[in-house]
Amino acid sequence: MQKKFFISVCLMFISWNVLSQRERVENLPSFDKRRIHYGFYLGLNTNGFKVAYKPSAFNNPQIEVTSEVGFNVGLIADLKLHNNINLRFEPGLISNTKVLRFTHITTPGQDTREVGNTYLHLPFIFKFSTNRLNNVRPYVLGGASFDYNFSSNERNQNDNFGGQFRQTASNLMYEVGIGIDLYLPYFKFSPSIRGIFAITNEVKYDERSPSQWTDPIDFMGTRGIFLHLSFE
């Protein structure tokens, strides 16, 4: 699913690029002279978990993750550092739902957990752009973020023994991406695709041990792909 998502977005970028090269009128000619500007973004995401395992009392542990397409929305504050370098703060919300299937658990009803996540996403991102060509300006970006998971259930006293999969509320992540600025008559539209990856372990271990759900997990962290549509 993630491969199809990635290919579709790449084709969209190529189509926009071809159409923009035909443009002869330079839109928003003084836009990039601003020291600071603002905007907002909308987007879709498909998220999963990267899981690493450690020795435990359970043989061949395996967690399969399936996810639904979620959404992301937020604001943009952009500071120009150089003609080709900008520092951006993009606070927003990320929401998605995942289903975890523990293949090493054979008891019906105990082998799956639904995990709904809503993150407050607070990233600082460096944006490296090429020189503008007509109304097109490609770029790459990278940065780090603090993410607070409102639906982590970290403080919930019920753990997996009570049917509740828990995660840590506060996490660190990094993201990288590519995109293209398209200068339209009244605003700048910037589609991009981004990958987001957790740095910290997001699993909240069960209180009792042995736990067939969390004992085998050494690391569990978010990883996903975003389709990011900025309006500035």
User: Is domain 2-22+34-231 in CATH 2.40.160.20, yes or no?
Assistant: yes
Q: Helix (H, G, I), strand (E, B), or coil: what is residue 73?
A: strand
**Mean pLDDT calculated for residue range 183-205:** 96
Q: What is the separation of C-alpha 199 from the centre of its chain, rounded to a whole number of angstroms?
A: 13
**What are the structural domain ranges in the chain?**
2-22+34-231
* pLDDT score for 1: 52
Angle at 124 between CA 31 and CA 131, to 5 degrees: 35
Q: Quote the strand ranges of 103-216, DSSP E.
A: 112-129, 136-149, 170-183, 188-198
What mean pLDDT value characterizes the chain? 89
Residue with the larger pLDDT of the pair 174 and 12: 174
Tokens of 166: 């828990």
pTM of the entire predicted model:
0.84
Q: pLDDT tens digits for 112-147?
A: 999 989 999 999 999 999 999 999 999 999 999 999
Are 166 and 149 spatial neighbours (Cβ–Cβ below 8 Å)? no
